Amino acid sequence: MVTNQASIKRDGVQDYVSLRATAAIIFAYSVFMAWFFISTDNLTFIEWRGLFSGLAMKVFTLAALVAVMIHVRIGLWQVLTDYVKSAGLRAGLQYILNIIAFGYVAVGLFVLWGV
């Protein structure tokens, strides 16, 4: 019996949809933050803390952080697959960069939920 090896790992369509969905979340977050900076006359710590104290903003920021991590993981996998031919070096780089991306989200969570 022949098994489909592609079913074990992700495929191109899943990567495509994931990249587009995460890009949309990152774009929406960037537009919102740009609007906040443009529309706020005098940005103080009180206003900044007020922005991030609401549950909706915390969830939106968390979604943006996770979207950045997923976007980075897929993008780096594609770039490293194209340009790093040594499988061992590529695996090591992917491991290190994935740990950094996860650390980015972890630090963001501590900062975000500490407000």
Is 37 within 8 Å of 43 (Cβ atoms)? yes
104 assigned binding-site residue: no
Q: What are phi and psi of 111, to 5 degrees?
A: -70, -45
71 assigned binding-site residue: yes
Q: What's the CA gap between 44 and 12, in Å, rounded?
A: 45
Question: Residue ranges for the binding site for heme?
Answer: 71
Question: Residue ranges for the binding site?
Answer: 71, 83
Question: Residue ranges for the binding site for a ubiquinone?
Answer: 83
